[in-house]
Amino acid sequence: MNHIDKPDAFDPENIRRKVSEVRTIAHGAAPDEQDGGKTVELNPLAQQIALQFRAESYSPAMITGLLRLLEFTALFAIGYGVTSFYVIPSDDVMLFYIGVVAGGSAIGVLLLHLADAYQIPALRAGWRMIPRLLGAWAIAFSAMALAFFLFKTAGVASRVWFVLWFVLGAAYLVVERLLIAYSIRRWARNGTMERRAVIAGGGEPAKELIRALERQPENDIRICGIFDDRDERRSPSVVAGYPKLGTIAELVEFARLARIDMLIISLPLSAEARILSLLRKLWVLPVDIRLAAHSNGLRFRPRSYSQVGNVHMLDIFDRPIADWDKVAKRAFDIVFSVFALLLLWPVMIGAALAVKLTSPGPIIFKQKRHGFNNEIIEVYKFRSMYTNMSDPTAKAAVTKGDPRVTPVGRFIRKTSIDELPQIFNVLKGELSLVGPRPHAIQAQSHDRKYVDVVEGYFARHRVKPGVTGWAQINGWRGEIDHDDKIRFRTEFDLYYIENWSLLFDLKILFLTPIRLLNTENAY
């Protein structure tokens, strides 16, 4: 099997580039030429299986990251405990011990990482990994002993403390890793820790892929089903024991109902036209999209593919804001939402009183909108319309001088004060502070829904929607009275998703009050 350079047809970057071109061209296509992202009804079997996978699973990256944090904390606590109860140093010497304990714990975790002790196969191994664990821990203490000698601090540190910390830390690592090995095997059986995958494309290629995955001794992939547009002559209803659950259109709905991590396209690399056709429909989903390359007789540069055991997968699209990025963004949302409530509570109370005292009806207006992965959420706003004229479906967009809007409503809409209750949606986890703005489920441009105007519109929902977003601070807020406005909004939203970072969120958040001074399109 020769190592060769990939021709353009097999280049994942080339495929991504062509998908981007297809998306751009499709924005100008007529509605009947687009997928439109229209929903389809799942068959009973597909619906039943999808409901079995509604609960969240924990990715290996999350598990191993938490384990690193746990082991650093535990080793530090052991060292600190021995220091406090045996050495009992003075305050100035205590700082020295704390520094050594923190540094030693960090070195220990780093060496365990370098020894591949945080790989899933190593975590499953139990007793077989004990020598490697103890070796890494011993090297960490050897490094500390060398540092004591070089910096002439050996006389400050207690030798009994040093040995006690080593022995107790080693005992902890052994016991903890045996428990972890048992837990991981149990989590793999009950579905707590697994990567859930669906296969697009059936027949013999899918059968070969499934058999290759099943041969991997430490496989964490749970295949949830197979989807294919072809009839049973070319794509049997059962492949390697797994049922074909429906068409590619049904796959999209299945992945919105179930918690799916990965979508594997099982087609020959030479079938580029069909691959691109599938990707046009599938890239809107918040999942990793991989192209199986296990049976093509080619070797690729390491940066081009990922592996499940020895099974090669070409990385086409990665799920945005996943694993620890997701944790970081959630922490960002909570911290800044609490800060916003502490800062803006007088404004919110004033707005609530103004709404209540100037027109009859509830203070809060609730509207169903599209959330993450196309789920329906209920978004809160201060009521800005007369109750008997309100439009929960948002079929009729608010226009300049709209008689449905109250005088107070006109002011709070222009200043975006009406959006402030959405901070509570953020704290509930339904929205983020920053992200694509959630649109009402019946929102329209003229007499067409947004999904009928913009091909791939639902790709905005690969991340949680936000209270503010990149499109809004670039002037795309307010009434959508022309198809191009929703197209441009979507382009800005997709740019945000593909370039997300916490710094980007911070930039958008701090620019929002400045850009809100421009109220030209807000009414």
Helices 130-150 and 159-190, packing angle to 10 deg = 150
| Range from 101-110, 125-134, 163-172, 276-285 carrying the lowest mean pLDDT | 276-285
The predicted model gives 337-359 an average pLDDT of 94
Q: According to the model, what pLDDT value does residue 149 have?
A: 83
> Pairing mode, if any, of strands 288-292 and 311-317?
antiparallel
**Cα atoms found within 13 Å of the Cα of residue 317, Cβ hemisphere only:** 32
The predicted model gives 409-430 an average pLDDT of 92
Burial group, residue 99, by CB count within 10 angstroms (0-12, 13-18, 19+): exposed
The predicted model gives 119-132 an average pLDDT of 87
How far apart (Å, rounded) are the C-alpha atoms in residues 356 and 470?
A: 32
Q: Do 264 and 200 meet the contact criterion of CB atoms below 8 Å apart?
A: yes
Confidence of residue 323 (pLDDT cuts 50, 70, 90): confident
How far apart (Å, rounded) are the C-alpha atoms in residues 69 and 80?
A: 16
Q: Do 508 and 493 meet the contact criterion of CB atoms below 8 Å apart?
A: no
Residue reference for tokens 């058999």:
211
Q: According to the model, what pLDDT value does residue 117 have?
A: 92
Contacts of 505 (CB under 8 A, 6+ apart): 329, 332, 433, 434
Across all residues in the chain, what is the average pLDDT? 83
> Pairing mode, if any, of strands 364-370 and 444-445?
unpaired
Query: Across 352-366, 398-412, 455-469, which has the greatest mean pLDDT?
Result: 352-366
Confidence of residue 102 (pLDDT cuts 50, 70, 90): very high
Confidence of residue 25 (pLDDT cuts 50, 70, 90): very low
**Cα atoms found within 13 Å of the Cα of residue 122, Cβ hemisphere only:** 17
pTM above 0.75, yes or no: yes
Q: According to the model, what pLDDT value does residue 481 have?
A: 63
Domains of the chain in start order, with CATH, are 8-56+194-319 (3.40.50.720), 60-190 (no CATH), 324-515 (no CATH)
Question: What is the share, in percent, of the chain residues with pLDDT greater than 90?
Answer: 35
The predicted model gives 56-79 an average pLDDT of 89
Contacts of 272 (CB under 8 A, 6+ apart): 9, 15
How far apart (Å, rounded) are the C-alpha atoms in residues 271 and 108?
A: 49
**What is the per-residue pLDDT across 43-55, written as a single tens digit (0 to 9) for each?**
888 888 888 888 7
Question: What is the share, in percent, of the chain residues with pLDDT greater than 70?
Answer: 85
Q: Which of 405, 410, 372 is nearest to 389 (CA)?
A: 405
Dihedral through CA 150, CA 155, CA 161, CA 166, nearest 10? Answer: 20
Amino acid at 349: I
**Cα atoms found within 13 Å of the Cα of residue 303, Cβ hemisphere only:** 4
Confidence of residue 432 (pLDDT cuts 50, 70, 90): very high
The pLDDT of residue 298 is above 50: no
The pLDDT of residue 452 is above 60: yes
Q: Which of 318, 276, 252, 334 is nearest to 463 (CA)?
A: 318
Chain centre distance of CA 383: 32
Tokens (6 digits) for 90? 């003075």
Q: What angle do CA 381, 383, 385 make, to 5 degrees?
A: 135
Confidence of residue 37 (pLDDT cuts 50, 70, 90): very low
Tokens (6 digits) for 343? 């800062």
Q: Is pLDDT larger for residue 74 or for residue 447?
A: 74
